[in-house]
């Protein structure tokens, strides 16, 4: 089976999972974190080099304050709790997103986790937090404008543009997976996902299993990636 080098996942359906069971929405987020830990293990098992997960979007600020506050605390608590596991397994952590508007405790934990794992190289886990694809592109343009204002010459093409993105050294995702039955990207990796293969499943994220994970890998393995060119042979 041909395994993607980089898998990106839109972890959708936590709230619906909880509501179906008569639980508070936040319980779905707690369950979702446990599933993510298992997915990291599966990626390590199959030799996936990069895993990017959509944790908190720039649009999530519109949710009720209680839920937003819970998600902020969950990020900090999860980073603290899972860091020993990630270090033990050789997983480098990168945070994809904007620090603007985030509580200081999140920024501090963000820096700590990246610093503690920066020399690990078995796999890279990219956590998209306070992230929006459109905002990333706008922020990249702002960086370019600042350089030009400072008198620097910027040769602008597609390859150079990626140098102004949040994590330019991370390769584009080969496969983007979305759970919960929604058939859209929801402002996720708009630049990087231009030629990604897409896999959608009705499974809610807290129910995401190894069986569904393998189904996504098998689907990817059967596809012919041509990047706009012609199929050979």
CA distance 44 to 54: 19
Residue 119 falls in the annotated catalytic set: no
Residue 53: partners with Cβ closer than 8 Å, 6 or more residues away: 8, 9, 11, 36, 39, 125, 126, 127, 128
CB atoms within 10 A of CB 208: 23
Q: Out of 12, 14, 130, 174, which one is annotated catalytic?
A: 12
Residue 157 falls in the annotated catalytic set: no
Query: Which of 14, 60, 121, 160 is an active site residue?
Result: 60
List the 175-178 sheet strands across, edge first.
91-96, 123-131, 50-57, 6-10, 175-178, 197-200
Catalytic (active-site) positions: 12, 60
């Amino acid at each position: 089976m041909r395994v993607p080098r980089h898998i990106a996942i839109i972890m959708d359906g936590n709230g619906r999972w909880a509501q179906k069971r008569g639980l508070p929405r936040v319980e779905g987020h707690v369950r979702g974190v446990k599933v993510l830990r298992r997915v990291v293990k599966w990626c390590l098992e199959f030799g996936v080099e990069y895993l990017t997960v959509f944790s908190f979007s720039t649009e999530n600020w519109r949710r009720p304050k209680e839920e937003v506050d819970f998600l902020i605390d969950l990020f900090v608590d999860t980073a603290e709790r899972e860091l020993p596991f990630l270090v033990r397994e050789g997983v480098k952590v990168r945070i994809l997103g904007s620090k603007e508007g985030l509580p200081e405790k999140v920024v501090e934990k963000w820096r700590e986790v990246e610093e503690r794992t920066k020399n690990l190289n078995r796999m890279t886990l990219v956590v998209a937090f306070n992230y929006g694809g459109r905002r990333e592109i706008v922020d990249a343009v702002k960086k370019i404008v600042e350089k030009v204002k400072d008198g620097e010459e910027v040769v602008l093409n597609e390859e150079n543009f990626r140098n102004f993105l949040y994590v330019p050294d991370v390769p584009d995702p080969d496969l983007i997976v979305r759970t919960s039955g929604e058939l859209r990207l929801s402002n996720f990796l708009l630049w990087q996902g231009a030629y990604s293969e897409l896999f959608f499943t009705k499974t809610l994220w807290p129910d995401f299993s190894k069986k569904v994970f393998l189904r996504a890998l098998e689907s990817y393995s059967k596809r012919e990636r041509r990047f706009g060119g012609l199929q050979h042979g």
